[in-house]
Structure 1
Amino acid sequence: MIIEQIYTNCLAQGAYYIESQGEVAIIDPLRETQPYIDKANKNKAKIKYIFETHFHADFVSGHVDLAKKTGATIVYGPGAETSYDIYSASDNEEFKIGNVTIKALHTPGHTLESTTYLLIDENGKDHAIFSGDTLFLGDVGRPDLAIKSDLTKEDLAKMLFESLRTKIMTLADDVIVYPAHGAGSACGKNLSKETVGTIGDQKKTNYALRADMSKDEFVKEVLDGIAPPPQYFAKNAMLNKMGYDNFETVLETGDIPLSPEDFEAMANSEDALVLDVRPQSDYIKGHIPNSIFIGLNGGFAPWVGALITDIKQPILLIVPEGKSKEAVTRLSRVGYDNTLGYLKDGIDAWISAGKEIDTLESISAETFANRVENGNVNILDVRKDGEYASMHLEDAQHFALDYINENMNAISKDKTYHIHCAGGYRSVIAASILKARGFHNLVDIAGGFGAIKKTDLPMTDFVCPTTL
């Protein structure tokens, strides 16, 4: 028996390859499917099943393409309805992969069709669960993502409570837990950095699996502090439900080199968004006016999904040398399939063609501190709510990047703003969006809050309010 976790850090997502006696099951595959096929071919094995734990919301699964290429059967849990052929498993139904068995445990709560797959080894012993978004390490799945359902998040949370206690917590403590996500995913709020655990460890450390927890307590604690889901979640879930364009076609039409003249003409004729995915230091030094920065070296795909509201938006890319295919691939993982091409030879070609560039002022934390001490400075803190609440500069205005599109009216184009995040990536994203919207008096603070904390500027710590 072979079990391999194929973890993609930029999405905090785990897919799984299971092989026994020449037969293979893939669980929750990514959009690009060739690596799974290559792995099976190398082992002279055949992909028999593709198990989907649920209709994923934070990435587009590769199940449809993989089934077309291999003839494998797509398996969902009870009640799943799609526009393509699937096998809808019954609760406790078993599937054979060589000498091992995979049992479908219907575990609704995160979504209605959510299913945990229990792997039973050659000796009939429960070996591992592939828990999808039902159980994470340190947390459980958020119960507010149901597609077109009359059920409330409270209703789904109650279902999740029952699923955990009747289907998962009854398993032996040594059963291995392979979740769909780890730290960094927006599918939960307290996910561990670890990507493999055990049932026993989770019973000891996961707040949602406390033995003495009532259903009402569970509902309250699971729902407490959940941020609104990113806007692309519902769109990705619908793509997974209804199907999507072939990945190879998306790559073929998107990975096209364009001269500066063709690039500019296409940007204008197609009303395309120019997306600069280089390191932020390169963007700061020089970029195409009105381009948006979201660098490949950070949380690229989730930020694209959160900030580019039209999933069908035509996109033109500014990429580091040799990174065009990677950029198109990573966009497709979250359903942004309308890439039109990339600027051949990058920003240097643009400059050589005599075309206009823009820059972004960026200063050190020490220079910023001097400016604050010497006069009134408008500060935008673009970190998440919890980061800001934990500690922030006394005079900083909270302007979370997650909600920048909704909060433009909270700032003025007539003012100069000094912008920071935690380390310098998100502040440049925010500045690029603001610049594209006509805010030109912007200053980035290099190193973000991590660098600012080393200065003597006054901070405000979070103080728990007293209930009267």
Structure 2
Amino acid sequence: MKVEQIYTGCLAQGAYYIVSENEAAIIDPLREVKPYLDRLEKDNVSLKYIFETHFHADFVSGHLDLSKKTGAPIVYGPTANPEFEAIIAEDNQIFEIGKLKIKVLHTPGHTMESSTFLLIDENGIETAIFTGDTLFLGDVGRPDLAQKATSLTQEDLAGILYESLHSKIIPLDDNITVYPAHGAGSACGKNMQKETVDTLGNQKKSNYALNQPDKESFIREVLDGLTAPPKYFGMNVALNKGGYESLDLVMNKGLNPVSVKDFEAFAEETGALILDTRSPGEFHKGFIPNSINIGLKGDFAPWVGTLIIDVKHPILLVSDEGTEEETITRLSRVGFDNVLGYLKGSFEAWKNSGKETDEVKRISPSEFAEQFDGNSKVIDVRKLTEYSAEHIDNAYNKPLDGISDWVGSIDDSEHFFLHCAGGYRSMIAASILNAHGIRNFTEIEGGFNGIKKTEKFPISDFVCQSKTI
């Protein structure tokens, strides 16, 4: 028996590859399926089932492409209604993979079709649960995503989730291994641990959601502090439920090198967003006017989804040469399939052609310390929890994920300093501000982490972030 967790850090997502004898199963695969096909070939096994814990909101699953390439059926739990052929399992139905068995436990609450898959080894011992978004390490799945698809309130869904946990999961043996679909950094929960594997017994002791005295307390605590989900979530659910274009076709269309002349014309004709995926350090020195910077080396796909939102919006890429395929792949993971091409020769080709360029004024924390005075305006684009934990006194907190709501309120006649934690998010914000004609600001390299080291700023008292969630 082999159980492999295939964890993708930028999405904080775990897929699972299970092998027994000459058969395999894959749970919650990512959009690009070649890594799974390579594993199957290496192990000389056939894929028998593709299990989906639910209709994912934060990424596009690879279930359809994987099924087409292998012939393996897709399995959902009870009440799922996909718009393609799939096995809709009954509660407690058992599927066999070699000498192993996988038992379907219907655990609604995060969504109504959400299911947990219980792994039973060749000796009949229950050894692991693949919990999807029902149970995380340190948290449970947010119960507010499925409201639009039902007549239920988030309080109703939280109550249903409580019943699922207490009737299906908590009664299981403490020694069972918990394999969740997500870890820290995912927007599908609010309090997840950095670890990606644990025992159920430890979760029974340490997970706040499993230690509430009653259902009412559970509902209150699970809903407390939930921020609005990213707006692209609903579009990803629709793709996972209704189907999508093969990644092979998406890649063929997107890997289209475009000359400087054609790139400019293409952008004007199509209204495409120019997405610059170079590092913040390179972007600030020079970029195509009105382009948006979301660096590939970071939480790229989630920020694309959060800020661009419309998965169908046409995109033209400015990427470091050699990273185009990775960029298109990572965009596809969150459903952004409409990449029209990329700038051949990257930004250097644009600059060398004599075309107009723009830049962001960026200074070091020490330079910030020299320029800062008691009247300086500072905008901190970190999350509220980060800001609440510690911040520059009198700084304004305007989280990046809400920039579309606050960008119109910025007074460009008044200079301000802009920072995040390390410079990644503040450069995204800087590019968006520039695109809106707001230019009277200075971005701080290294963000709050660098600012603190100067020890020259009035900083609020530190508060542990776990207490601010």
Q: Classify the TM-score, shorter chain.
A: over 0.9
Q: Tell me by how many angstroms 1:462 deviates.
A: 7.2
Q: Output the CA distance in 1 between the equivalents of 2:460 and 2:90.
A: 54
Letter in 2 for 1:429: I
Q: Tell me by how many angstroms 1:70 deviates.
A: 1.0
Give the equivalent residue in structure 2 for 1:445. 444
How far does the alpha carbon of each residue in 1:272-312 deviate from its partner, in whole angstroms, 9 at most, with x for none?
A: 11101011100011111111000011100000000003211
Which structure 2 residues correspond to residues 371-390 of structure 1 after superposition, within 5 A?
Answer: 371-373=371-373, 376-390=375-389
Task: Check whether the contact 2:390–2:463 (CA below 8 A) recurs between aligned residues.
Answer: no
Give the equivalent residue in structure 1 for 2:16. 16
Tell me the SS of whatever aligns to 1:297. coil
How far does the alpha carbon of each residue in 1:92-145 deviate from its partner, in whole angstroms, 9 at most, with x for none?
A: 000000100000000001100000000000000001000000011111100000
Give the equivalent residue in structure 1 for 2:432. 433
Which structure 2 residues correspond to residues 62-461 of structure 1 after superposition, within 5 A?
Answer: 62-146=62-146, 147-210=148-211, 213-373=213-373, 376-454=375-453, 455-461=455-461
Q: Output the CA distance in 1 between the equivalents of 2:447 and 2:35.
A: 37
Q: Output the CA distance in 1 between the equivalents of 2:317 and 2:304.
A: 13
Task: Check whether the contact 1:142–1:188 (CA below 8 A) recurs between aligned residues.
Answer: yes
Letter in 2 for 1:290: N
Q: Output the CA distance in 2 between the equivalents of 1:463 and 1:106.
A: 39
Gaps of 5+ in 1: none
Task: Check whether the contact 2:314–2:339 (CA below 8 A) recurs between aligned residues.
Answer: yes
Q: Output the CA distance in 2 between the equivalents of 1:287 and 1:57.
A: 32
Tell me the SS of whatever aligns to 1:156. helix
Letter in 2 for 1:383: R
Q: Output the CA distance in 1 between the equivalents of 2:313 and 2:240.
A: 19
Give the equivalent residue in structure 2 for 1:6. 6
Q: Tell me by how many angstroms 1:399 deviates.
A: 1.1
Tell me the SS of whatever aligns to 2:74. strand
How far does the alpha carbon of each residue in 1:302-342 deviate from its partner, in whole angstroms, 9 at most, with x for none?
A: 00000003211110111112100000000010000000111
How far does the alpha carbon of each residue in 1:166-207 deviate from its partner, in whole angstroms, 9 at most, with x for none?
A: 111111111000000001001001111111111011011111
Task: Check whether the contact 2:257–2:341 (CA below 8 A) recurs between aligned residues.
Answer: yes
Query: Does 2:62 align with 1:34?
Result: no
| Identity rate, percent | 58
Q: Tell me by how many angstroms 1:89 deviates.
A: 0.6
Task: Check whether the contact 1:363–1:445 (CA below 8 A) recurs between aligned residues.
Answer: yes
Task: Check whether the contact 1:389–1:461 (CA below 8 A) recurs between aligned residues.
Answer: no
Q: Output the CA distance in 2 between the equivalents of 1:112 and 1:413.
A: 47
Tell me the SS of whatever aligns to 2:103. strand
Letter in 1 for 2:376: V
Give the equivalent residue in structure 1 for 2:59. 59
Letter in 2 for 1:302: P
Q: Tell me by how many angstroms 1:411 deviates.
A: 1.2
Letter in 2 for 1:163: S
Q: Output the CA distance in 1 between the equivalents of 2:214 and 2:226.
A: 20
Q: Output the CA distance in 2 between the equivalents of 1:90 and 1:199.
A: 24
Q: Output the CA distance in 1 between the equivalents of 2:203 and 2:149.
A: 32
Letter in 1 for 2:152: L
Q: Tell me by how many angstroms 1:354 deviates.
A: 1.1
Q: Output the CA distance in 2 between the equivalents of 1:76 and 1:409.
A: 44
Q: Tell me by how many angstroms 1:440 deviates.
A: 1.4
Q: Output the CA distance in 2 between the equivalents of 1:15 and 1:412.
A: 46
Letter in 2 for 1:170: P
Q: Tell me by how many angstroms 1:385 deviates.
A: 1.1
Q: Output the CA distance in 1 between the equivalents of 2:155 and 2:70.
A: 40
Change in Cα spacing, 1:136 to 1:40, as seen in structure 2 (3 Å) is same
Q: Tell me by how many angstroms 1:47 deviates.
A: 0.7
Q: Output the CA distance in 1 between the equivalents of 2:122 and 2:149.
A: 41
Q: Output the CA distance in 2 between the equivalents of 1:281 and 1:62.
A: 34
Q: Output the CA distance in 2 between the equivalents of 1:461 and 1:436.
A: 35
Tell me the SS of whatever aligns to 2:284. helix
Tell me the SS of whatever aligns to 1:413. coil
Letter in 2 for 1:273: L
Q: Tell me by how many angstroms 1:456 deviates.
A: 2.0
Q: Tell me by how many angstroms 1:376 deviates.
A: 2.8
Q: Output the CA distance in 1 between the equivalents of 2:92 and 2:28.
A: 19
Q: Tell me by how many angstroms 1:463 deviates.
A: 8.2
Tell me the SS of whatever aligns to 1:340. strand
Q: Output the CA distance in 2 between the equivalents of 1:461 and 1:90.
A: 53
Compare 244-253 and 145-154 and name the one that shifted more. Answer: 145-154
TM-score normalised by the chain length of structure 1: 0.97
Q: Tell me by how many angstroms 1:2 deviates.
A: 1.1
Give the equivalent residue in structure 1 for 2:467. none
Q: Tell me by how many angstroms 1:236 deviates.
A: 0.5
Compare 38-47 and 94-103 and name the one that shifted more. Answer: 38-47
How far does the alpha carbon of each residue in 1:360-410 deviate from its partner, in whole angstroms, 9 at most, with x for none?
A: 11111122122222x632211100111112222122111110100111232
Tell me the SS of whatever aligns to 1:460. coil
